[in-house]
Amino acid sequence: MSGIILNVVVQGVLTGLVYGLMALGLSVIFGIVRVVNFAHGEFAVIAMYAAFVLFRNFGLDPVAAMLPVAAVFFGVGYLLQSALINPFVGRAEHEQFILLVGLGMVIVNGLLMIFGPDARPVNLSYGLDSYEIGPLLIDKARLLAAAAAVVVAAILFGFFRLTALGTAIRACADNLIGAAVVGLDVKRLYALSFGIGLACVGAAGALMVTIADARPALAQAFTLQAFVIVIVGGLGSMSGALVGGVLIGVSEALAGFFFEPSMKSMFSFALLVVVLVLRPQGLMGRRA
């Protein structure tokens, strides 16, 4: 029995890491640009379809497809922020909300019209392999995706901590007026941050397709989950997003195992309420 439970925990950790990467993108966008990206899940689903198309037409493994997809998404994010989102930065949340809900509708239904409603699978040659280590049965695809998620997060972490550009972006997040006073080009940095955030989403979406099949209907669930993880883990904290993802992944897995699996999301939402009430900065965020 303990072997089974260990399996459940490990599954939760691996899945949680990939969800955490998706939440990471939201953390960057929300934490730095202060835009409530309610179209977050929709972008992730676009990335899933992009990886699916690259796999179907060029045989590109999604883990490798992560790079071109993330690059394209960076560009898209940069342009999107400059053209569409910038006028809404600093405006009331409900206005951002409507803009992004509208954008989300356009994306989901566009995908529905192009690809149809059925699930689009990426059938990797190793997609059904698993490693057996003692009582553990670990999926190869999930393990690879989780490892890639950690690598991307580490790169991002390094960027924000160690480079001048990263530090400048963090300065914007911490103190907007101060940053402007110091001479930082805030608009350009915002666009860069949005680009980076969306690149994260792109990478996460490409990895997601090794675990789930691309479908337009996934978008809303992804958005909600990303928000839950970001709040629980802590806004503006890279490690917080991953830790939050793992926490949500494991707690949902355990809740699903010991209680009824159809109830497992209840625990995430209950956890969200508890975090909001008791520790609103999240597990690893700093008090504003």
Binding to other proteins by CB under 8 A, coded x per residue (else -) over 203-242, reads: -----x--xxx-x-xx-xx--x--xx--x-----------
Residue 282, both tokens = 């999240």
* Sign of the torsion formed by the C-alpha atoms of 197, 11, 46 and 37: negative
For the bound state, the minimum distance from the C-beta of residue 159 to other proteins, rounded and expressed in Å, comes to 25
The whole-angstrom separation of Cα 193 and Cα 168 is 10
The whole-angstrom separation of Cα 89 and Cα 84 is 10
161 binds other proteins (CB under 8 A): no
182 binds other proteins (CB under 8 A): no
Using the minimum distance from each CB to other proteins, give the nearer residue, 14 or 70: 14
Q: Which stretch binds other proteins (CB under 8 A): 150-158, 160-168, 193-201, 251-259?
A: 251-259
Per-residue DSSP letter, 88 = G
CA 77 to chain centre: 14
103 binds other proteins (CB under 8 A): yes
Q: Which stretch binds other proteins (CB under 8 A): 150-158, 163-171, 182-190, 266-274?
A: 266-274
Q: Residues 75, 93, 174, 185: which binds other proteins (CB under 8 A)?
A: 93
Buried b (16+ CB within 10 A) or exposed e, 30-44: bbbbbbbbbbbbbbb
Q: Which stretch binds other proteins (CB under 8 A): 67-75, 89-97, 151-159, 240-248?
A: 89-97
* Sign of the torsion formed by the C-alpha atoms of 240, 245, 246 and 250: positive
Residues binding other proteins: what is the number (CB under 8 A)?
A: 78
